[in-house]
Amino acid sequence: MRTLGEYLRLYFIIEAQYIKARMQYRADFIISSFGMFFTSLVTLSVFWVIFDSVPDLAGWSLMEMVFIYAFYMLAISPMQILFDHFWQLRFHIQQGTFLKYYFRPLNMMFYYISEMFDLKGLIQLAAGTILLVYSATQLSVEWTITRILLLLLTLFSASLVQISMTVSAACAAFWVIDSYPVLGLAWKLREFSPYPMTIFDGAFRFAFTYIIPIGFVAFYPSQLFLRPSEVTPLIYFSPLIGVGLFALTYWIWTKGVNSYTGTGS
């Protein structure tokens, strides 16, 4: 069995080669990066248009919304950069090329994600960082060591929540031929993470906090820094939530891997 260290080293070696190869496709990199940048820009514009008509959204100002959105961008970046290969899973499964992942003495999920490293996600990471710093400054957020650590911790948990949702949805490909709508559903859900949970009442808020916790992707963590007094105590459990969800996701993946028979006889 390999140690975590060995896997990290192997990952580094593989990705170094992968990035080198991808850099040859300069046009693709530029276009994709622009696309990523532009998409974020337009989404921000949506906020701008809404706030042009109303001064606040459920009590949250424009700049606060920008902060939450920035946090959201940072939280979804690891998924984008590291786990992007999962969007191809249904093709590999249908065409039978998924078989090759069984043949190496490697953890299959590791092997699978190591084949793709999404460079344009780095743009998202950079943009998110800039936006976070900018909005935090505008809102005069105080940064202590504790808060910075808290930020990193909640970002880590938030990204795990996001990864879990998307990967679980992608795993539907093991049992359903057209799993794209499931992925689409997961995608739609996460589109609403940058909005304040306070806009939801009753059943929805419950669902988004306890069942499909998109609230932990951006909103609840942001409260820690923007409105510390309104924070829900659950937020301190977010690492548990993140890790727990990922464990569940890994279980689903394992079930899928074990049930796959490949095409042909």
Of residues 60 through 119, those in contact with other proteins by CB under 8 A are 96-97, 99-100, 102-107, 115
Rounded CA separation 57/47 (Å): 10
Residue 57: C-alpha distances to residues 45, 53, 54, 163 (Å): 15, 10, 7, 28
Binding to other proteins (CB under 8 A): which residues in 199-218?
Answer: 199-201, 204
Task: Tell me which of 8, 35, 143, 247 binds other proteins, using CB under 8 A.
Answer: 35
Report the alpha-carbon distance of residue 67 to residue 225 in Å, rounded: 10
Residue 118 carries which DSSP code? -
Q: How far is the CB of 37 from other proteins (least distance, A)?
A: 10
Which of 3, 140, 229, 265 lies at the binding interface for other proteins (CB under 8 A)?
Answer: 265
Decide: is 17 part of the binding site for other proteins (CB under 8 A).
yes
Stretch that binds other proteins, among 133-141, 182-190, 215-223, 229-237 (CB under 8 A): 182-190
First to last CA, the chain: 31
Q: Alpha-carbon distance 254 to 232, whole Å?
A: 34
- The structure tokens listed for 126 are 């950079």
Judged by CB under 8 A, does residue 52 bind other proteins?
yes
Selected from 70, 161, 182, 245, the binder of other proteins by CB under 8 A is 182
Nearby residues of 90 by Cβ (< 8 Å), 6 or more positions away: 170, 173, 178, 179, 180, 183
Q: How far is the CB of 147 from other proteins (least distance, A)?
A: 28
Region from 68-76, 129-137, 235-243, 254-262 binding other proteins, contact rule CB under 8 A = 254-262
* Main-chain phi, psi angles of 60, to 5 degrees: -105, 135
Q: Does 146 bind other proteins (CB under 8 A)?
A: no
Among 3, 4, 5, 54, binds other proteins (CB under 8 A): 54
Which residue lies nearer to other proteins by CB, 28 or 143?
Answer: 28
Residue of 90, 85, 92 whose CA lies nearest to 109: 85
Neighbouring CB atoms inside 10 A of 97's CB total 13
- Give yes or no for residue 22 binding other proteins (CB under 8 A): yes
Task: Give counts: helices (H), strands (E), the chain.
Answer: 11, 0
Q: Tell me which residues touch other proteins (CB under 8 A).
A: 1, 9-10, 13-14, 17-18, 21-22, 25, 27-28, 31-36, 38-39, 42-43, 45-46, 49-50, 52-54, 57-58, 96-97, 99-100, 102-107, 115, 120, 176-182, 184-185, 188-189, 192, 195-196, 198-201, 204, 258, 260-262, 264-265
